[in-house]
Structure formats: C-alpha cells, structure tokens
Structure 1
C-alpha cells in the first residue's frame, strides 16, 4: 500500500503539497515533524508534515521526500490549528504563517553542490581553460560549492561554465541541506587521570618546576576544583591563574590537561533565589477576586487600572495560581523595551522559570527557547515576550496576559501574516481551553466596546498604589508664549521653571517628542526648496550626530548639504524638531545635568534598551528625552515631571484612530510621573489647549473620550462598529498601479456597493520607488466575515488573471491599524 504526506511549505502557495513516503517512514513520521522535500525544478525546502494518508494526488505525480529532519514533532497539533485560523482570518497562506512562526534556524537552506561524474571519461583537451580549472579541482575534492567555483575561476558569473560542463556530462549537480542551528558548546578542562592522585600531582609539579607559569595554571586548577567541586571552564581557569590561553593550550598538547565540551543553553538565568511576591493592597485584592469571578463566565477579562495602580502585582498572583496547577503562562508585551524591567521583577519572584522571547534574540537563542517550551521544561514556565511569542509550541497553557493591550505595536505590518497579537492570543487561549487577561490604563475602543457588548468581563482599579495622587496635568499655550516672546527654543518659560524646580529637588524628568532625528524638514531660506528622498515621497530628516539627511521609510541617507540644490544659496534652515534637537537644547539650558536620549537610533543593539533604562533607573541621568518607547508601562520611581514638547503633531494625523491614540499616548506618558509619594507634574505644550482630547487627558476622563470617539465611529462606520479590510496595491509604474486600483475598486463595488472606499493615495504615496494605492472595504456587523473574505479572494483571483496586473503586488490587511 502506498503512503503519502501533505506538507506545509514555507512559501506563499495556496495548497498543501503531497509527497510519497515508504511504509517504514509512515510508521515513524508524525504531523508536526520537519522533512526536506524537493520542490520545483531543483529546490529543496524544509516542510512541516500536516497529515498522513493513502490518497495519491490527482493532478500531479507525488515525488519522494529527501529526508526526515526530526525524531519527534517540533510543532504541536494546537499550533497547526492556530496556523490554519490565522491563514483563513488574515487572508494569507499557511506557508506565510509557518515562515513567521518557526525560528529561522529551523527552516534549513539547501546549497548547490558540484561533483565529478565518475561514469564519464573526459579528455582534458575537450575542456576550455576555466572548465579545466574546475574539473581539475574536482580530482582533489569530492564536491565544490558555487562560492568555491567563484574563487577558483575568479569570476562572478560561473553559471555559464557550469552549464557547459553539464552539457559535456563532466559534472553532476545536487542539493545538500544544511542545518543552521548549532548548540552552544562551552570548553571545560580537567587534569588527565594519571595526574589526579597525590603522587601523580607531586611528580607533575616537580616536572613543571622549570615552567612556573604552567605550574601556576595546574595549581589554580587544583584549587578551583577543591573549592567548587564543579567542572571548570577554560575562561574561569584563565581568569583565576592570570595565564594566557596559549599556556593552557600547551598543557593540553603535553597531555597534562584534558579539554572537553558541555552543551549549554544560551539563555540562562543568573539571578538570586526567588522571593515571595508582595502582599496586595485592598484595591488589588478586590481586583484579583473580581478577575477570578469574571473568568467563571467569560473567556476574556479586561483589567482597566489607572497608571501605577499595581496591575503587575495582580498578574503575579494569577501566574502563581497557574504555576501551582503545573501550567505554562504567556505574558505578552508590546515592546522589547518593557521586557528589560519586567524580567527583573518576574525573575525575583519565579527565578529560572521565567524565559524571554523577542526579535532581538539570535537564531540559536530562539531555537533553545522553542525547545524548552516544547518539552515543558522547568526553565520555560512563564514566557515573557513580544508579539512573536504567540507562535511558541505550548504544551499546557494555563493563562495568557496581554499587558498594555491597546498598543498598536501588537499589530504586524509586514510581511504576512499581518496579524494582531492580542486577537490571536485570545484564539490561542480558546484552543488551549484557557483564559485571557487584557490589561491597560487606556483600553482600546475595540476591547472596551466588547466589554459593553457583554463579550468580555471588566475589572477596574481606580486608585494608584499607596494612594499616590494622579499627576497634576497642566496645558501650556505655546501660541500665546511665542507672541509674548517667552519661548527659549522649543521650551516655554513655564516648562523651564518646572524643570529647574524638579532638578533642584533631586528628581528626574522625562521629555516626550514623538519624532526621532534633529529636524524633519531642511528648507532653503531663499527659494523654499527642501531635499526629498529619491525613492519615497517624503522630505529627508536631518540627524545632527551623524551630520546626515536620512529617510525614515527606506533608509536612504546622504551627507548634510552645504548649499541649496535648487538655487545654490548656502542659507539652509531646519523646520520642526525631533528628539536630537530637544536633547541638544536641554544640554544648553541645563549644562550641569546629565541628559540621555531613547529612540530607535540609540537602541539598535541587543542590549540598547537595557543600558539606557538601567542608567536612568540608577539615576546616572537626570533628564531622559524620548519617543513613544517611553510611554509603554515603564516604571521609574524618581520621575517627578513629564514634559510633552508638542501634542499637536499627534492629534493632526490623517487617521480615524488619531484622537484615540493621542489620548492613550498622552495618558500613558503622563503616567510615568510621580509613581511614589510625591504627586507628579505633567506639562503639555500645545497650540490648541482647548482641544477636547487634551481636556479629557488633563482630567483623566476615559469614559468621555470613549463616548465621543464611539459617536464618531457609529456616524462614519468605522471599527469597532464595522470591520475593515485595507487592500494596498504596489508597483513601480504609476499608470499600471492606477489602472489596476480602478479595476479592483470597480469589481469590489459591484459586490459590496458603498462599503468600498477608494482607490486613494495614502499620506506617503511612494515608498522605495513603489507607488501605493489604498482601497478600504467596510464590513457591517451582520455581514458574514467568512463570506466577505471568499468574495474578496474570488475577485483577487480574477484580478491576477488580467495579464497587465500580474506584476502589481496586492496586500490584504485585515483589521487594518
């Protein structure tokens, strides 16, 4: 009887592919294992087995698999179900989800190998010079890679030579699969067995009397072994003896020392033993009781607690309960920056049971976390991570906590799957039969709307921990200040006065400006020209620390201009301001205090966030200037003042969520102030202090903001009342993308009528030399989401059948953010 498997390939193809396997393989292979399979003319892919069966494919002949790559499944059945749901809901392929879900090191790469054809005798005279060089090299080596051939013939284009050798049947080409993951091996040393006895050691020390450095190394090793009774690392021995690695190597060569390797985890816990969690105050106790009560009737509960109300301590008690039941916990965060502070807090309670997972981890570290979660290791009971951690292979998930659930960074923009981690986490919890807790001081309208509809439970904490007062928020009218000449650069006299007072009291300050760089626009004073990015429809941003003009969309950069490119006048001026300019102005205004900056430019390294946050926590800096990274739930105990440099550029953004986001961002950054005894102060500089959102932020009135925004969403048919699917078309030819968008818009209107908006140009209509067009499809509550998506897929297929439109890239973004 023939046996077959259906596999998921890590490429965007609609269908699963079927391969033939032997009876012995059928007895060994299980769904969730990796297999190397041939695909297309000569490619080899790593595929995940979806199911085993005995039905041969009707349309094509099934190929044999190359090899089985695992001894046990590395992907669970629950994960496969989640992948199917994501592909169906977010209108992408399961291959897209697989590529996003698996650590890169699991997706093996194939490399072309050239070897000599032993079945054919070739005369040297039949070969050209460069062909002869390759053929000669194959006499000495069993196989060559493409890169080896490039080096031998000293040419970049080697494929014509390989083609000629293939035609002469001098060589054969094959694909070899390479495993990317390498375990971390740590080098240890010990004395050879014959030297471990007392007599042996005595004889050895006498033998080394003329080599004092080598004798010192042996003595140090002996002392370390006696002291720790553990295996001794080479690095520990070099440090203890003060000897160089070459001395240790010579002792190994003399067979005095023996080296050996032990496989260790790259991700290790180096802290103290865990301590008991803090006792909760009455408000937190009540919240914990209410959460457990709502979990009896609801799958999802929203914890709406004001900033600094101690939500994390409530989470800790829930995690403790889950761990007592031998369950795993997923703690989702919007930003890597937050993990730094939380890791320390959670590790102080749960020790080495806490594991961290995010995109700054290396491929090898990700594989190790994956394996620990898969085997339900004691090291991976509490997983703290950014959005990608929802893909981990949980065995027994007992709780999912989504902290700062309103954050837009939970939504993946590129590449597919364009999923929302909060919504996917709720589905993941449902598949595991467990509960989800959403936490925020400023919940998203979607979550609060679901509470009002009765879908989610709601628990509120209205007081800050230790009854600390909410910060005093003051709006500063900078239009009035400019008229009265009370501004110094971008600082009003009121902000400078408050900063001086705070610094004199020994407290710290946070200054928020949601734009990195020095200045977003450089303009000529004579003709008004400003340098534009050659690849995108945006002006270049000036970065003073590198003296560069940079594009924040495609990364294009050039040296700062000395004169205007249009008229040649040297009078160039900067308009607008970013974090760099604020940092520079603060240094001039307060030269005796230390100033730091936290934005994308200063946090690029793996430990970039950690260094800045730790320095600020330990009060090595007095003033921290930053972008919205600062707003995400960070806990700085000594911050007494928060200054928002300009609230207007948040409010005046062309997006229906702009006012909701402004409220969330301003409230969150305000919440960093006064988290201990003293009431904090927040100064918001604005040209329009009477704006409704600013008034609501200053009185901390979430309900008023929710009501006003929901009225607008009902009137204009936007989420959460209606659902949204945004279709983006991209192509380097403007006319082609224009015609394609008109055709697609017309086809969609025939099915959905007035619920289709566009095509329109987005605010930035050209990025990386690709022109963009957007079409928005609104889906009313009663309309079937599944039926809508089927209709869209059908129209999409017709679109792809139009010859002129095949090269236009279509991007579907469900629940667009």
Structure 2
C-alpha cells in the first residue's frame, strides 16, 4: 500500500501538495515535521507535514520527498489547526501563514549554484563578453550563486547566459540547500586531564619559567578555577590575566590547556529577580476577583481600566497563577516600544522565565525563542512581544493578555496573512482552552459592543492607582491665538507658559505630534508647485536632519530644493509641521534643556527604543517629542504636562474610525501625565475647540463617545453591526486597474447587490508606481460569513481565469482596520 503526505509549502498556493513516501518513512514521519521537497522544475522547498494518508492525488503523479529535516515535529497540532483557521478566515493561502509563522531559518530553500564543469578546455569555445566574464569569475572561485552572477553582470535576467554555458557543457547548475540557523557558541578552556595531579602541575609551572607570560596566564587560570568550579571562558581568562589570545593559543598548542565549545543563548536575562510582592489595592483586588470569576465561566474578559489604574499588576498576578500551574502565558503588546519598559517589570518578578519575540530580533535570536517555547522549558514560560507572537509553538498555553487591545497596530497590513492579532488570540485561546483578557483604557468599539451584548465579560477599574486624580484637560483655541498674534511658531503662549512652569519645578514634558519629519509640504509662493514623489501620489516630506525631501511610502528621496523645480523662484516655504520641526522650535525656545525625539526616524536600531525611554526615565531628558509611539502604556513618573500640538489632523481623516481613533489616541497620550500624587495637566491645541470628540476627551467621557459613534455606525452600516471585506486591485497600468476593478465590482454586485461599495481610489491612489482601487463589501449580521467568503472565492477564481487581468493583482483584506 502506498503512503502519501500532504505538505504546506511556503508559497501562495491554494491547496496543499501531495508527495509519496515509503513505508519506512511513513512510520517515522509525523504531522508538523519539515520535509525538503522538489517543487517546480528544480527548486527545493521546505514543506510542513499537514496530513499523512494513503490516497494518491487525482490530477498529478506524486513525487517522492527529497529528505526529512526534523527528528520530531517542529509545529504542534494546535498550530496547524490555528494556521488552517487563519487561512480560511482571512482568505489567504496556508503557505502565506507558514511564511509569517516560522523564523526564516526554518524555511530552507535551495539556491541555484553554478560550478565549472570538470575537464573543460575553454580555449576552443567561442564566448561572448558576458559568458567570458562568468567563466573568468568561476576560475577564481569554485562556485557562484545566481544572485552573485546577477551583480557581476549588473543585470536581472542572467539565466539565458547560464543556459548557454550549460549547453556548451562549460558549467553545471546545482541545487544546494542552506541551513540558516547557527547556534551561538562560547569558547572555553580547561586544564589537560594529564596535568591535574599536583606533582604534574608543579612540573609544568617549572617548565614554563622560560615563558613568563604563559606561566602568568596558567597561574591566573588556577586562581579563577579555584574560586568557581564552572568552566572558564577564553575571553574571561584573557581579560583577567591581562594577556593576549596569542599567549592562550601557545598553551593550547603545548596541550597544557584544552579548548571546547558550548552552545549559549543569544538572548539572556542578566540581573537579579527582585523580591517583590505584588500588593493590590482594594479596587485592583476586587477587579482581580471579578476577572477570576469570569475565567471560571470560560469567558473572554474585557478589562476597561482608566490610564494608570494599575492594570499591569493585575496581569502579573494572573500570569503568576498560570505559571505556578506549569502552563505558559502570552503577553501581547501593540508596539515594540512598549516591550522595553514591560520586560524590565516582568523580569523583576519572573527572571529568565520571560522571553521576548519581535521583528527587531535577528533570525537566530527568534529561532532560540521558538525552540524554548516549543520545549516548554523554564525559559519559554512567559512570552512578551508584538503581534507575531501568536504563531509561536505553545505546548500548554494557559493565559493570553492582550494589552492596549484597541490599537490598530495589532492588524497586519502587508504581506498576507492580513490577520488581526487580538481576534486571532481569542481563537488561539479557545484552541488551548486558555483564559484570555483584553485590557485598555479606551476599548475598541467592537470589543465594548461585544461586552455589552454578553459575548465578552466586562470588568471595570475606574480609579487610578494610589487615588491619583485624572489629569486636568485644557483646550487651547489656536485659531484665535493666530488671529491675536499670540503664537510662537506652532506653540501657543499658554503651552509655552505651562512648559516653562513644569521645567521650573524639575518636571518633565511630553509633546505629541502625529507626523514625523520637519514639514509634510514644500510649496513655491510664486507658482504654488510642491515637489511630488515620482512613484507615489504624495508630496515629499522635508527632513531637516539630513536636508532631504523624502517619500514616506516608497523611500524615494532628493536633496532639499532651494529653488522651485517648476518656475525656479527662490521663494519656497514649508507648510504643516512634523516632530522634527517641533524639536527645532523647542531647542530655540528652551536652549538650556535637553530635548529628545521619538519617531520612526530615531528608533531604527534594535536598542534605539530602550535608549530613548531609559534616558527619559532617568531624567536625562526634559522634553520628549514624539508620534503615537508615546501614547501607549508607557509609565513615566515625573511627567506633569502633556501637550497635543494639533488635534485637527487626527480628526479630519477619511475613515469611519477616525473619530474613535482620535479619542483613543488623545486620551491615551493624556494618560501619560500626572501618574504620581501631583495632578497632571494636558493641553490640546486645536483650530476647532468645540468639536464633540475634543470635548469628550476633555471630560474623559468614553461612554458618550461610544454611544455617539455606535449610533453613526448603525446609521451608515459599519462594524460592529456589519462585517467588512475590502478587495484592492493593484496594477502598474492605470486603465487596466480601472477595468479589472469595474469587472470585479460588477461580479460582486450581481450577488451582494447594494452591499458593495466602489470601486473607488483610496486617498493615496498610487504607491511605488502601482495604482490601487478599492471595493468594499458589507456583510449584514444575519448573512453567513462562511458562505459570503465562498462566493468571493468563486468570483476571484473566475477573475483569475481572465487573461487580460493577469497583471492586476487582487488583495483581500478581511476586517480591514
């Protein structure tokens, strides 16, 4: 009887592919293992075993597998189920999910390698210039990868050149597999066992009297190993002896010392576990008990706690209980910036049980975390990180904490799978029968709606920790201030006055402007021209630190222009302002104070967040200017004033969630103020101070915002009353984008009638020279979500069969944020 395996390949394929295996292989292979298989003509990929069976494929003949890469499953059964759910719910291929879920090191892929054929006489063969270049390079090095030949010839399509050389039997084309993960090893030394007897030690020291430096190193070795019985690192020995590694090498050559290597973790906890007992106040204790009661009823729990009410302490207590039961806990955060502060707090309680996982980690570091979690060892008990953490191979998950659950950064935009980590975490918790708590000071309308309709349990914590008052919010009318000439740059007199007062009292200030760069628009005062990105439909943003005009969509940049590119006039002015300009104005206003900026430009490195946050915590910085990175859950003790530079550019955004988002963002940033006994102050600068959202922020009235937004959503048929699926057609050809989108919209309207909106160009209709057009499908509550997706699937299959639209790709986004 033949045996077969169904594999998930890391490619956007709709179906799993079936390969044949022998009876012996079938006894060894288990679901979740990796196999290397040939796919296509001669490419080798890593596939994950999703099923083992005895049914041959109907359409094609199953190929045999290339090799087995694992001794035990890399992926758990729960993970495979989770991948399948994500692929079905978010309408994407399982291969896309696999690419997102596994660190790159696990995805072995073959790379074509070109080698010179043996016994080749090149003298008699006629070669053109490019062929000669390749042969000459191969005579100097044994083999070259395709990418290396591309850069050598400075052209993308090199396969025709290589194929000609293969035909002339000058080169061989091999497929080689690369294992990318390399464990980090530390070099140690120990005394050769032959010299361990005391008499031998004295003899060897006498012999080394002519080599005083080596003798010194050996004596240092003895004194260090006498103190601690642990193996000795070469680095430590060299440092303590004040010698060079060459002297140690001399001792190794004489076989007095023997070297060996041990694998170590790249990410290690250094420090002591604090002896902290979490003391909850009466309100926290009451909330904690309520959460526990709801967990007993297996409910998803929404914790609505005002900023600085001590939600983190409650999470830590819940994690502690789960870890004591031998289970794992997952702590999800929307931003990497947030992990920095929280890691320290969690490591204070749990030490090395806490591991961190996010995109700023290298491939090798991610592999190590992946392995700790899969083994469920002491280091993988508590995982903290951003949205990709939900894909880790948990063995025994007991609790998921989704902090700041309202954040839009939990949604993955590109590439597929376009999942929402909060919603996916609810499903993951259900798979493991684990408890899940969603926490926020400003819950998303959907979550709050679910809580009010008994789908989730709602627990509220309305008081700040230590009975600290909520900050006082003041709205400054900058329209009037401009008219009365009471503005200095982008600062109202009121804001400058408050900043000065805070700095006088040795307190810190946070200023929020949700736009990076110096100025978003450069405009000619003579002809009105402003430089545009040649690849995208946006104006270039001026960045003063490197004197560049830069596109925030594709990265295109040019030097700052001092003359208009259209009329050559030198009268150029900037319109609008970003964090860089706020920083520059502050330096002019407060030259004696230390000012820092936190945005995408200043946090590119792996530890950049940590450095900025640490400097601010240690009061090395007086004023911190930043984008929305500042708004989320950071806890600074000495901030007495928060300034929102311009509330209007948040509100005037073409999106049904704009008002909800503005409220959340402003209330969150306001929550950074006055987190100790002294009451904090928040100043909101606006041209429209009577806007209902700004008024609701000033009173901190979440309920009023929720009711008002819910009424609007009901009226205009948006979530939580209707589900949304957005289809985006993208293509380099403008007219083809229009035709394809029109065809798709017509096909969908035939089924869904009035519930299809569009096709419509988004606010930025061209990015990287590709045109975008959106179609929005609204799904009423009573309409089956599963059947709707089946219909969309059928329509997309018909669309793909039309040859004229082949270059126009369709991107499906379920529950777009």
- TM-score bracket, shorter-length normalisation: over 0.9
* Shift, 1:802, TM fit: 1.6
CA gap of 1:451–1:75, structure 2 versus 1, over 3 A, is: same
CA gap of 1:150–1:205, structure 2 versus 1, over 3 A, is: farther
* Shift, 1:38, TM fit: 0.3
1:579 aligns with 2:572: no
> Which residue of 1 is the match for residue 732 of structure 2?
732
- Asked if the contact 2:452/2:458 (under 8 Å) is kept, the reply is no
> Which residue of 2 is the match for residue 273 of structure 1?
273
**In 2, Cα distance between equivalents of 1:244 and 1:793:** 67
**In 1, Cα distance between equivalents of 2:134 and 2:676:** 73
**In 2, Cα distance between equivalents of 1:349 and 1:577:** 42
> Which residue of 1 is the match for residue 203 of structure 2?
203
> Which residue of 2 is the match for residue 60 of structure 1?
60
> Which residue of 2 is the match for residue 764 of structure 1?
764
**What does residue range 632-671 of structure 1 map to in structure 2 within 5 Å?**
632-671=632-671
**What does residue range 500-649 of structure 1 map to in structure 2 within 5 Å?**
500-649=500-649
* Shift, 1:712, TM fit: 0.3
**What does residue range 402-481 of structure 1 map to in structure 2 within 5 Å?**
402-481=402-481
* Shift, 1:371, TM fit: 0.7
Q: Deviations over 1:326-366 (max 9, x none)?
A: 11011100001111111110111111111111111110111
* Shift, 1:292, TM fit: 1.1
**In 2, Cα distance between equivalents of 1:497 and 1:581:** 19
> Which residue of 2 is the match for residue 47 of structure 1?
47
* Shift, 1:454, TM fit: 0.8
**In 2, Cα distance between equivalents of 1:500 and 1:144:** 63
**What does residue range 494-505 of structure 1 map to in structure 2 within 5 Å?**
494-505=494-505
**In 2, Cα distance between equivalents of 1:711 and 1:137:** 70
* Shift, 1:385, TM fit: 1.1
* Shift, 1:806, TM fit: 1.1
**What does residue range 166-185 of structure 1 map to in structure 2 within 5 Å?**
166-168=166-168, 172-185=172-185
**What does residue range 291-440 of structure 1 map to in structure 2 within 5 Å?**
291-440=291-440
Compare 516-525 and 255-264 and name the one that shifted more: 255-264
**What does residue range 155-194 of structure 1 map to in structure 2 within 5 Å?**
159-160=159-160, 162-168=162-168, 172-194=172-194
Compare 225-234 and 91-100 and name the one that shifted more: 225-234
**In 1, Cα distance between equivalents of 2:790 and 2:156:** 47
> Which residue of 1 is the match for residue 774 of structure 2?
774
* Shift, 1:147, TM fit: 6.7
CA gap of 1:168–1:271, structure 2 versus 1, over 3 A, is: same
SS of 1:209's equivalent in the other structure is: helix
**What does residue range 57-206 of structure 1 map to in structure 2 within 5 Å?**
57-114=57-114, 127-128=125-126, 145-146=145-146, 159-160=159-160, 162-168=162-168, 172-206=172-206
- Asked if the contact 1:7/1:50 (under 8 Å) is kept, the reply is yes
Structure 1 unmatched runs, 5+: none
Q: Deviations over 1:643-698 (max 9, x none)?
A: 11010100011111000000000000000001011110100111111110011111
**In 2, Cα distance between equivalents of 1:136 and 1:754:** 66
**In 1, Cα distance between equivalents of 2:177 and 2:423:** 37
* Shift, 1:809, TM fit: 1.0
1:17 aligns with 2:17: yes
**In 2, Cα distance between equivalents of 1:458 and 1:631:** 24
> Which residue of 2 is the match for residue 261 of structure 1?
261
Q: Deviations over 1:147-168 (max 9, x none)?
A: 7878999999764454245335
1:679 aligns with 2:659: no
SS of 1:763's equivalent in the other structure is: coil
Q: Deviations over 1:115-171 (max 9, x none)?
A: 6778xx876665446889989999999876557878999999764454245335565
**In 2, Cα distance between equivalents of 1:157 and 1:514:** 43
CA gap of 1:155–1:578, structure 2 versus 1, over 3 A, is: closer
**In 1, Cα distance between equivalents of 2:123 and 2:405:** 72
1:213 aligns with 2:213: yes
**In 2, Cα distance between equivalents of 1:287 and 1:541:** 47
CA gap of 1:158–1:469, structure 2 versus 1, over 3 A, is: closer
Compare 403-412 and 154-163 and name the one that shifted more: 154-163
- Asked if the contact 2:412/2:420 (under 8 Å) is kept, the reply is yes
Q: Deviations over 1:475-523 (max 9, x none)?
A: 0111111111111111111111111111111111100000111111111
**In 2, Cα distance between equivalents of 1:244 and 1:53:** 61
Q: TM-score, normalised by structure 1?
A: 0.96
> Which residue of 1 is the match for residue 704 of structure 2?
704
> Which residue of 1 is the match for residue 30 of structure 2?
30
- Asked if the contact 1:298/1:456 (under 8 Å) is kept, the reply is no
SS of 1:473's equivalent in the other structure is: strand
CA gap of 1:802–1:651, structure 2 versus 1, over 3 A, is: same
**In 1, Cα distance between equivalents of 2:161 and 2:542:** 48
Aligned residues: 815
Q: Deviations over 1:531-572 (max 9, x none)?
A: 111100101001100011110000111111121111111121
* Shift, 1:74, TM fit: 0.5
**In 2, Cα distance between equivalents of 1:184 and 1:594:** 39
CA gap of 1:700–1:486, structure 2 versus 1, over 3 A, is: same
1:282 aligns with 2:274: no
SS of 1:5's equivalent in the other structure is: strand
Compare 248-257 and 125-134 and name the one that shifted more: 125-134
SS of 2:209's equivalent in the other structure is: coil
- Asked if the contact 1:299/1:430 (under 8 Å) is kept, the reply is no
- Asked if the contact 2:737/2:808 (under 8 Å) is kept, the reply is yes
- Asked if the contact 1:10/1:95 (under 8 Å) is kept, the reply is yes
* Shift, 1:249, TM fit: 2.7
**In 1, Cα distance between equivalents of 2:742 and 2:138:** 58
Structure 2 unmatched runs, 5+: none
CA gap of 1:651–1:128, structure 2 versus 1, over 3 A, is: same
1:806 aligns with 2:802: no
CA gap of 1:702–1:135, structure 2 versus 1, over 3 A, is: closer
CA gap of 1:156–1:81, structure 2 versus 1, over 3 A, is: closer
- Asked if the contact 2:372/2:380 (under 8 Å) is kept, the reply is yes
**In 1, Cα distance between equivalents of 2:587 and 2:132:** 67
* Shift, 1:253, TM fit: 2.9
**In 1, Cα distance between equivalents of 2:173 and 2:524:** 60
**In 1, Cα distance between equivalents of 2:125 and 2:796:** 52
- Asked if the contact 1:277/1:316 (under 8 Å) is kept, the reply is no
Superposed CA RMSD: 2.2
SS of 1:368's equivalent in the other structure is: helix
- Asked if the contact 1:353/1:381 (under 8 Å) is kept, the reply is yes
Q: Deviations over 1:245-279 (max 9, x none)?
A: 33323332333332211001111111203523321
Q: Deviations over 1:402-422 (max 9, x none)?
A: 000000000000000000000
Q: TM-score, normalised by structure 2?
A: 0.96
- Asked if the contact 1:272/1:348 (under 8 Å) is kept, the reply is yes
- Asked if the contact 1:491/1:645 (under 8 Å) is kept, the reply is yes
Compare 186-195 and 476-485 and name the one that shifted more: 186-195
Q: Deviations over 1:94-120 (max 9, x none)?
A: 0110010011110012122456778xx
